[in-house]
Amino acid sequence: MSGKSVAVGSDHAGYEMKGALIDELRTLGCEVLDLGCDGPASVDYPDFGKAVANAVAEGRADRGVIVCGTGIGISIAANRNPRVRAALCHDETSARLAREHNDANILALGARLVGPEVARGCLRVFLSTEFAGGRHTARVAKLGN
């Protein structure tokens, strides 16, 4: 995992979890691009989903992590970018399969739905799992990339 660059963004509901995930990323030796938000004051999740999506799509980051209250809204915002495959994950299995089968490039998490240990586990698995290719390649191609 060391050497990967990861863009990270959240809204106010995900702010605390974003900080914990940034700490985990640095422990893993990743370069972190923190795209906000910068505190617990209310903000609009689409702005941060879009910022992370653009960073990944433009190649400024290898992968992305986005967090809002449920992970739903921010993942919808990120997936508006045709070069992004943001996957909302709730456990390590969904994070692994998002990478193996869907070549997801952004991990979405819901801070109100998963605890910090589960979130860190999802992050580690998401970063360490490679796309399986094979039969999945044609399917992922149909997603627009």
Per the annotation, the verdict on 90 as an active-site residue is no
What's the CATH number where 48 sits?
Answer: 3.40.1400.10
CA 97, 99, 105 angle in degrees (round to 5)?
A: 140
pLDDT tens digits, one per residue of 13-30: 999 999 999 999 999 999
Q: What domain count does the chain have?
A: 1
pLDDT tens digits, one per residue of 34-60: 999 999 999 999 999 999 999 999 999
Alpha carbon distance 136, 53 (integer Å)? 22
pLDDT tens digits, one per residue of 94-115: 999 999 999 999 999 999 999 9
Confidence of residue 3 (pLDDT cuts 50, 70, 90): confident
Provide the whole-model pTM: 0.97
Query: pLDDT above 70 covers what percent of the chain?
Result: 98
Alpha carbon distance 3, 97 (integer Å)? 23
Catalytic residue among 37, 68, 89, 122: 68
Per the annotation, the verdict on 37 as an active-site residue is no
Task: Kindly tell me if the per-residue pLDDT of 1 is higher than 70.
Answer: no
Which pLDDT value is given to residue 28? 97
Task: Kindly tell me if the per-residue pLDDT of 145 is higher than 60.
Answer: no
Q: Which two tokens stand for residue 80?
A: 């508006």
Alpha carbon distance 98, 63 (integer Å)? 13
3-state secondary structure of 116: helix
Range of 60's domain?
5-141
Confidence of residue 144 (pLDDT cuts 50, 70, 90): confident
